[in-house]
Amino acid sequence: MGTDETHLHLLPHIRSSWSLPGRRPHIPTPGRNRQLTVSGALEVTTGTRGYQLGRRRAADFLDLLKQLVAASPPPRRSW
């Protein structure tokens, strides 16, 4: 099984802006940098995949793993 996660910052990064000479541009912001975490997993043998949106917490990642276990078929015995 392969897993990965990424964090999306919802506060935009301001690189450059335009304004009239001598005036500062007004750029509204939400006030704090909220984040959204996206966790994903892929079971390479069965192709089962899933993702979980949430905060940066271990509990959200464990919820993703429980979701994948519930969707996966029971393992086959090879002996």
For residue 64, the model assigns a pLDDT of: 82
Rounded Cα distance between 58 and 16, Å, is: 36
User: pLDDT by residue for the chain (79 residues), tens digit each?
Assistant: 788 889 888 777 777 778 889 998 877 776 777 888 998 888 888 788 888 888 877 888 888 888 877 877 777 777 7
Q: Is the dihedral of CA 14, 20, 24, 30 positive or negative?
A: negative
For residue 16, the model assigns a pLDDT of: 77
For residue 45, the model assigns a pLDDT of: 82
3-class secondary structure, 32: coil
pTM given for the model: 0.59
Rounded Cα distance between 20 and 15, Å, is: 17
Joined tokens for residue 48 = 């089962």
Name which of 71, 9, 69, 72 is nearest 38 in CA terms: 9
